[in-house]
Amino acid sequence: MHIHVRGDSGLGVPRMYHVCRELRLSYTFGLGMNARLQALSEDLLKQAVADYERTGQPQRRFLATRYQARSWPAEQPTVIKVEVDAAGTNRRAVVTNRPGWEVLPAAVYDAYVERGESENRNKELKGELECDRLSDHRFLANFFRLYLHAFALNLLVRLRRAVVQAPPTTAELGLPAELPTAAIDEPDRKRFFNRRRRRDPLGEGFACTWRTRLIKVAAEVITRARRVIVRLSASWPHLHHLVAVSRAINSAAVPVVPSG
């Protein structure tokens, strides 16, 4: 298993670079823009501005270079992003030791930005599963509440993995079939992820998506002496989701063989 470390500019210091190299870890850290980095990317910015004024379309450019601050003992591979759109210009930089950073600097930067995806899990736990509803007066009671919320999030993650579908291919977007996902640049990258979410709303869905498609459903409940019958409408638009989830869970279930 390989570990890749990502962090904002607060962690982008020589000590972290040294520790990662000693532990044989790859890393990508944010780097605050300064006068030297701005000077290095000035020509690229002018080119992006000119292309934006000519086409009216947002522009992104990347510069793969090597940079050494005065306090650094050695230079570091650096990727600078230049972006121009209706909101103005924007420049960001990262320091990395990932293989291929010179060949695919856009992929390196986009992988760094995706570190925020982990924050979405925290948002799900707090915002959608409401883990902060800890109104009991005793610690153990609130601890048990939080335990249930965490269990619900883990269950959601397991269900997503069970029903996830294969993402669209780059050929469907009119791109070379052999192009890896990490190498897709904007705006094709946004089109790729939007199409993936439309194709697989459950495998890519938040808790609210699962709730509205599988839980908040009108049904008739009939209670018998030996069983409870739940009748769903045949015209329910998301019935195929329930069938797919049921099949995925049944296929993933492993029967327990009694010992002896």
Give the Cα separation of 42 and 82 in Å (integer).
9
- Tell if the pTM clears 0.95, that is, is over it: no
- Report the sign of the C-alpha dihedral through residues 156, 158, 164, 169, in that order: positive
- Please spell the DSSP secondary structure of 76-133, one letter per residue: EEEEEEEEEETTEEEEEEEEE--TTTTT-HHHHHHHHHGGGHHHHHHHIIIIIS-TT-
CB 80 within 8 A of CB 91: yes
Read off the pLDDT band of 77 (50, 70, 90).
very high
C-alpha 107, offset from chain centre: 14
AA identity, residue 108: V
| Residues 67-81, mean pLDDT to the nearest whole number | 92
Distance separating the N- and C-terminal Cα atoms of the chain:
36
**Portion of the chain with pLDDT greater than 90, in percent:** 36
Give the Cα separation of 8 and 32 in Å (integer).
9
pLDDT tens readout for residues 113-162 = 887 777 777 888 888 888 888 888 999 999 999 999 999 999 998 889 88
Give the Cα separation of 9 and 31 in Å (integer).
5
For 70, phi then psi, to 5°, come to -60, -30
Residue 72: pLDDT over 70: yes
Phi-psi label, residue 219: left if phi above 0, alpha if psi -120 to 50, beta otherwise = beta
pLDDT at 48: 92
